A and B are shown apart, each in its own frame.
Chain A
């Protein structure tokens, strides 16, 4: 695992310790093997694939991994987690992130934000 990614995951998991909008914590699942947290708002962070790589002299010199952060919330405003997640991404991804999509699931009544980020491995 790239160290920057582990730092990002730690930061996302630590979101609950700092100044939070309320005392409720944001359950955060890391990658697909964890079970889904059962809560009003929860997040998922995962590394998805290798986005790009720099090769030199038959050796892989640098790699960029692309990952995503998903926030599911029953609240329209994301329960205040949006700005906190954006802050964590800015701190750990050097600004190489973007809000990829924002959707509403009619069946479950959940709002879904998806951020993608790239991290050097």
Chain B
């Protein structure tokens, strides 16, 4: 015997789903902003832990950044979040110092991004202190958790 299934009140659900679809890019961007913020905070925390030294050539290649260079990182504020790029259904951004401007070191204007890169990757005359890489690796899981939690919260808000 064939059974007939009938669902009533679907109109409101389809309405809600349509609403959610419209809001999807906004939700993704909001959630991504939260996740990127966590990574940026971790990087800024790492920048505070960079060790410095006044002796420029005393340790040879084990030279450490000067206090001025660290000050440049800190005064650049938190590592910035780039403008969001929307491609198709996805949204992505980058976190870093690329828009942090310039700092005066030894009377010369130097880009903060270059200083951050030299400290992060090291050079032939400076020991590396991978504070950016460490922050990104260690906060990746935390950030993705925060993103999914935020998405759930925002979706629940819409479907209320």
Q: Which B residues lie within 8 Å of A107 (CB)?
A: 125
Residue B55 at the A interface, CB < 8 A? no
Q: Which A residues lie within 8 Å of B30 (CB)?
A: none
Is A51 a contact partner of B137 (Cβ separation < 8 A)?
yes
Known: A36-B60, A36-B61, A101-B117. Is A52-B122 also a contact (CB below 8 A)? Answer: no
| Docked CA distance A35–B137 (Å) | 28
Residue B52 at the A interface, CB < 8 A? no
Is A32 a contact partner of B125 (Cβ separation < 8 A)?
no
Residue B124 at the A interface, CB < 8 A? yes
Is A48 a contact partner of B138 (Cβ separation < 8 A)?
no
Residue A110 at the B interface, CB < 8 A? yes
Residue B62 at the A interface, CB < 8 A? yes
- Summarize B's interface: helix, strand, loop or mixed: helix
A residues 72-121 near B (Cβ < 8 Å) are 72, 100-101, 103, 105, 107-108, 110, 112, 114, 116
Known: A49-B137, A100-B133. Is A112-B124 also a contact (CB below 8 A)? Answer: yes
Residue B123 at the A interface, CB < 8 A? yes
Residue B56 at the A interface, CB < 8 A? no
Is B60 a contact partner of A66 (Cβ separation < 8 A)?
no
Q: Closest approach, in angstroms, between the C-beta of B133 and any C-beta of chain A?
A: 7
Residue B153 at the A interface, CB < 8 A? no
Q: Which A residues lie within 8 Å of B62 (CB)?
A: 32
Is B122 a contact partner of A70 (Cβ separation < 8 A)?
yes
Q: B140's closest neighbor in chain A, by CB? A: A52
Q: B134's closest neighbor in chain A, by CB? A: A49
Q: Return the contact of B124 from the options A49, A51, A108 (Cβ within 8 A).
A: A108
Is A66 a contact partner of B133 (Cβ separation < 8 A)?
yes
Residue B121 at the A interface, CB < 8 A? yes
| Docked CA distance A105–B117 (Å) | 12
Q: Closest approach, in angstroms, between the C-beta of A36 and any C-beta of chain B?
A: 4
Is A52 a contact partner of B124 (Cβ separation < 8 A)?
no
Closest 5 CB pairs of A and B: A36-B61, A51-B137, A110-B124, A49-B134, A72-B124
Please list 21 pairs of residues, one from A and one from B, whose beta carbons are closer than 8 Å in the complex, sorted by A's number.
A36-B60, A36-B61, A36-B124, A48-B133, A49-B130, A49-B138, A51-B137, A66-B133, A68-B130, A70-B121, A70-B122, A70-B128, A100-B121, A101-B117, A103-B121, A105-B124, A108-B124, A108-B125, A110-B124, A114-B122, A116-B133
| Given A51-B138, A105-B123, 4 extra CB contacts under 8 A | A36-B60, A49-B137, A68-B130, A110-B124
